Amino acid sequence: MQVIPLKIPEGSKLPDFVISFIQANSLKGGYLVGIGGLEEVEIGVLNRKTNQYEVSKFTRNGDSTIELLSITGNYFVKSDGNIAFHAHATFATGHEKVAGGHLISAKVSPYVELFLVETGIQVKTAFKHRDSQ
């Protein structure tokens, strides 16, 4: 097992930045945890009847930061070589206002501190239902 700390800089897009890092470093599979700040975020909650995400978008107000309280998820290299990335995020948009769901996209501001925990190829085996998605 390998733990990789990663500081994601301002203006970066999630999950694109992380997926590029995984590819550039030939990572195979693992999980991720982190905290940080965002300028905007788009999350989804799965509607089980339609199997589609009900999407919500949040943008920071003025000089405030959307506080990323937690991001957690997993990743692996699929059989076709693409990265399967699945993460959920919880964040604060103001005092006592917290939201969360499936992370669709986010713009980092000022940064996100992430730990990638590389566990290896067994992630693909455990989550083979996502290998063909």
Reported as a single tens digit per residue, the pLDDT across 51-63 is 999 999 999 988 8
CATH number at residue 50: 3.30.1330.80
Question: 3-state DSSP call for residue 129?
Answer: helix
Q: Cβ(66)–Cβ(60) under 8 Å?
A: yes
The amino acid occupying position 126 is: A
> Residue 126: what pLDDT?
87
Global pTM value: 0.93
> Residue 10: what pLDDT?
98
Q: Higher pLDDT residue, 90 or 128?
A: 90
Q: What mean pLDDT, rounded, does the chain reach?
A: 95
Which residue segment(s) compose the domain that 62 sits in? 2-130
- What digits encode the pLDDT tens for the residues 59-75? 998 889 999 999 999 99
Per the structure, the count of domains in the chain is 1
> Residue 132: what pLDDT?
80
CA separation for the pair 55, 53 (Å, rounded): 6
